[in-house]
Structure formats: structure tokens, C-alpha cells
Amino acid sequence: MQTERPILPNAPAVILVAPQMGENIGAAARAMLNFGLTEMRLVAPRDGWPNPKAVAMASGAAGRVLDHAKVYPTLAEAMKGIEYAYATTARGRELTKPVLTPEAAMAETRARAGRSAIIFGPERTGLENDDIARANAIVTVPVNPEFPSLNLAQAVLLMGYELGRDTLPPEPAPHARRADSEELADRVEIERLGDHYDERLTEAGFFFPDTKAASMRLNLRNMWSRLPLTRGDVRVLHGILRQLTRR
């Protein structure tokens, strides 16, 4: 079975070394597909493969990442065809390798012509030095030094984001046209709402004492103009005021 064609050009393979829980593999697949990564390679998953818990966690579309996942007994075999590999770890600095941030590493990957891979370690211990030694460079996330641990899916998501942020669409897809009640109210509608409240609050004696009435009115008018009210919101606020003053 061939791996799906990636959404991103020259997208790296994601290699999970000795993942322990099927749920984490499924969550990693979801994170991958969020950013156009589709090639997953598994090294000796603890609970075997395939794993129904991984499929359940992948939730629909991301299941196709798992459908094409390949399993290898060792990391060395999983790196077949890979020309440049990044080991994601907060350890291994005693090894003489470049240490990069996710941003810098994924910028390199986008510019590189050959096949790349991002290697992630098991959830409890992370990558061992023997695994890190097989990579060209280390990627370390600049996080709170008092709590540097990321779970597997978080780490995959972060790397995928850095890889895809200059390639995938920069803005969310536009939503369908809003219903009238969801459209933002225009300035005239806001002005009428302000007038309505001004009238009723005046009748109720809210603007007291007279020396402060002008500034109170100004502040109230300014408040209405700041709020991102929809037409539906305006109608509700008119209705509330009418009901409160009806008696």
C-alpha cells in the first residue's frame, strides 16, 4: 500500500519511536493531518499494530493517516529513504549536533530538496541517546524550564504548525453568509438603541445629579459604540428595555 500524496510539498515523514498508547498515536495522526502531514512511520509500538484505540482517537478523516502507517522493528530501518532527520528532544545536548527551534528546523525542511523526517520518542521517556545519534540535528522547544514536558500529539502539532504556517492558507476559510440576526448592527441601529436607553433612563431618573448627567450620557453612548453588537443583539436589548418599562 502506497503512502498518500502529502498536501504540503516535500512534507517530512513523522516517525514515532516505541509509542506506548494507541490513543496517542491517533491524536498524533490528527495533529499531522491538521497541517498536511500524511506519512507516519511507527517503530515497535508497545501495544502492537493495528490498534483500535488509535483509530477511535483519529476521529474520521485522520484515520487515513493510520491506514497508510508503516511499522518497523527499529529506527534504523524506519529511516529508509530519509536523507535528513530531526530528533525532537530536550535531552541529548551532550551529542555534537545542531540544536534548533521548531521554527528554524521546519524552515530548513521547506527549503531542502531531499526527504526529511521528524522523530518523536515514547511518551514516558522520550528519545534515547542511541536514537538521537541517528538524527542529523536536534529540535528543542523553548518552553518553561520548570515543566518542559510535551505530550506526543502536542509535539507533533507544534512541528506541523511551524512547517505549514508559510505554506498552508494563512486565514480560515470564509464562513457562509450569516443570517440577518448574526450580521453586525450598523451605526444607525446602534444610535437608535442608544436613543431608546437614553429616553427610558431619563424617565427613570438615572442621570442624576444634573451636574454629571452629560458625562454619564457620553459614557453610555461610548459604551454602545464599542460593543460588537449584531442586529439580533440590538433587537433583544430593545425588547428587554420595553419589557422592563412596560409596568
Residues 61 and 111 in one domain: yes
Task: Determine the Cα–Cα distance for residues 69 and 27; give it in Å rounded to an integer.
Answer: 14
In a domain, 3, yes or no: no
Residues 18 and 96 in one domain: yes
In a domain, 23, yes or no: yes
Per the CB < 8 A criterion, the answer to whether 96 and 145 are in contact is: no
Inter-residue long-range contacts of 182-191, CB under 8 Å, 24+ positions, other chains counted: 182/230, 182/231, 182/232, 183/230, 183/231, 184/228, 184/229, 184/230, 184/231, 185/229, 185/230, 185/231, 185/233, 185/234, 187/225, 189/231, 189/234, 190/224, 190/225, 190/229, 190/234
* Mean pLDDT in residue range 171-186: 68
Give residue 245's pLDDT: 87
- The amino acid present at 198, given as its one-letter code, is D
Indicate if the pLDDT at residue 177 is higher than 70: no
Residues 130 and 19 in one domain: yes
In a domain, 124, yes or no: yes
Which cell is 94 given? Answer: 551532550
Residues 149 and 184 in one domain: no
Q: Which domain holds residue 86?
A: 13-164
In a domain, 175, yes or no: no
Give residue 172's pLDDT: 61
Total domains, the chain: 2
Per the CB < 8 A criterion, the answer to whether 204 and 226 are in contact is: no
Residues 59 and 83 in one domain: yes
Give the distance from CA 117 to its chain's centroid: 21
* DSSP letter, residue 66: H
* Mean pLDDT in residue range 121-137: 91
Residues 129 and 191 in one domain: no
In a domain, 126, yes or no: yes
Given 140, 164, 188, the domain boundary residue is: 164
Given 131, 164, 197, the domain boundary residue is: 164
Q: What is the 3-state secondary structure (H, E, C) of 210-229?
A: HHHHHHHHHHHHHHHHHCCC
In a domain, 67, yes or no: yes
Given 111, 132, 164, the domain boundary residue is: 164
- Alpha-helix residue ranges (DSSP H) falling in 47-180: 52-58, 63-67, 75-78, 102-111, 129-132, 152-164
Residues 17 and 74 in one domain: yes
Q: Cα–Cα distances in Å, from 185 out to 7, 194, 217, 222, 240?
A: 39, 13, 21, 15, 17
- CATH number at 218 reads 1.10.8
In a domain, 4, yes or no: no
Of the pLDDT bands very low, low, confident and very high (cuts 50, 70, 90), residue 175 is: low
Of the pLDDT bands very low, low, confident and very high (cuts 50, 70, 90), residue 91 is: low
Per the CB < 8 A criterion, the answer to whether 137 and 87 are in contact is: yes
* Mean pLDDT in residue range 92-112: 87
Residues 201 and 153 in one domain: no
Of the pLDDT bands very low, low, confident and very high (cuts 50, 70, 90), residue 3 is: very low
Residues 127 and 78 in one domain: yes
What are the tens digits of pLDDT across the range 198-221?
Answer: 999 999 999 999 999 999 999 999
Task: Determine the Cα–Cα distance for residues 65 and 239; give it in Å rounded to an integer.
Answer: 52
Residues 136 and 42 in one domain: yes
Task: Determine the Cα–Cα distance for residues 128 and 161; give it in Å rounded to an integer.
Answer: 25
- CATH number at 46 reads 3.40.1280.10
What is the separation, in whole angstroms, between the first and last Cα of the chain?
A: 74
Give the distance from CA 108 to its chain's centroid: 21
Residues 113 and 157 in one domain: yes
Residues 130 and 23 in one domain: yes
* Mean pLDDT in residue range 52-66: 87
- Smallest CA-to-CA distance from 162 within 88, 92, 93, 59 is with 88
